Amino acid sequence: MGVTKANLERGAGILMPVSALPGPYGIGTLGKSAYEFADFAAESGYRYWQVLPVGPTSFGDSPYQSFSAFAGNPYFIDLEYLMEEGLLLKEEADALDFGSDETDIDYAAVFHNRFQALRMAFSRSGHKRNKEYKDFLGANAFWIDDYSFYMAVKFHFENRSWQEWDEDIKYRRKEAVKKYRELLAEDIDFWKFCQFKFREQWNRLKSYVNEKGLKFIGDIPLYVAMDSSDVWVHRDLFELDEDCEPVHIAGVPPDAFSDDGQRWGNPLYRWDVMEEQDFEWWCERMKANASLYDVIRIDHFIGIVNYWSIAADCPTAIDGEWKKGPGEKLMRAILPVIGDAGIIAEDLGVLTKPVKDLIRKLGFPGMKIIEFGLDCAPDNDYLPHNYSTSNTVAYIGTHDNETLAGFLNGCKRAQLAKIKAYFGARTAKDLADKIIRSLFACVADVAIVQTQDLLGLDNAARTNLPSTVGQNWRWRATKEQLSGIDTAYYRELCRMYNR
């Protein structure tokens, strides 16, 4: 079977999480600010808008640890649109506390108050009579009922992980499933309503984005959270013991960035069982994401070929071992179901020959990060002059890296001198602009800049510091900041470098 995905059209892109958009009520949404951002991106000459995963977030607020690999984040449902529909009063939303700092997301405040507003809207909604709602349930039958049931039970047990629920429903015993479905029928409907509204607003925004000549790049984690409807419902697909505890978990081995490696804690897949089922769960997952995004970036793509398996009782990632993943078998199963959607392979990390060979064979673009090359060693693969193929997506840094200003502020004088020499910058002040120009000028088909770097923000605006919990995923832009970006300047860069 010779299915491959075509290379991405040459263009520039901007990395901006939905959560980081400006606006009222504590967190970015799919409302007016999202449309204004699409206008800004189009006026700047960009062709791509990359977002982080848009699933419902769990402990630590990471979009890479979600309650579902299929669902959308209810936080992103725009309350002002619900007001326009007559489902919510402005004074009701204004009476709730969503935090007081427009540049920061107070997740505790959002969690405690967002669902109050959504439940008010749900109580007034006639969505169950709509053909669109029935069509939505039919189109998402693989996951919507399981997810909504899981969330209803989860809230019933005070938001505890499903492993801590009463034993009968933890193990999904038939009598317990029947009992809780009856007991929580209205709550189950509420969670379905949230997904319907998320998807309704997302589809409207995506149509607008595409009409503007932009494509959405979406990001999906390779692994799913232990505390998720996916693991609770499909326990046979994951490495769990008879007590529903993980046997082995995901992570990466020690490297230059971490002496202990990274212990992510996600349960590993039983790839043999998935293969016996023709990778049905993965096919459904990719089909769902292909309906959300124009291009799908698969995070930690290397884990599909070879993955680091850590015993669940090991406190670090040091004592893991490499295991062989499904590789080409999985990709051949999912490619036919995603239609015209493109794929980006996040190939950062231990890039073995089998990983390189598979990416090359399937034609997927890989990734380059300029910040990884700023030791300025002439043979560093991450410096623009060493990009060996145009079939590449190049970044200055991603959500996991320092902002450009933060990185440069932390450089010692000797390193900064090397960087200035490489990019032809006379002063530290114009260095960031020279680096952005180099990104636009490079051979990579797609060049993506974080919004924080266009704004020149330091590490106080960093999106995520891996292996830490508490202050990540919180940054938001203000309208004033975004309106201060020189769209004409970046539009000219796009023209100059054929983007």
- The residues that are catalytic are 299, 346, 400
Note whether 67 and 111 are within 8 A (CB): no
Starting at the earlier edge strand, list the strands of the sheet with 306-311.
Answer: 262-267, 248-252, 306-311, 321-324
Count of beta carbons in the 10 Å neighbourhood of residue 479? 14
Distance CA 116, CA 118 (A): 5
Residue 129, exposed/middle/buried by CB under 10 A (0-12, 13-18, 19+)?
A: exposed
Which has the closest alpha carbon to 165: 178, 150, 148? 150
Note whether 479 and 19 are within 8 A (CB): no
Distance CA 209, CA 362 (A): 28
Count of beta carbons in the 10 Å neighbourhood of residue 467? 14
Distance CA 485, CA 406 (A): 19
Count of beta carbons in the 10 Å neighbourhood of residue 368? 25
Distance CA 183, CA 177 (A): 10
Distance CA 98, CA 80 (A): 14
Distance CA 130, CA 115 (A): 22
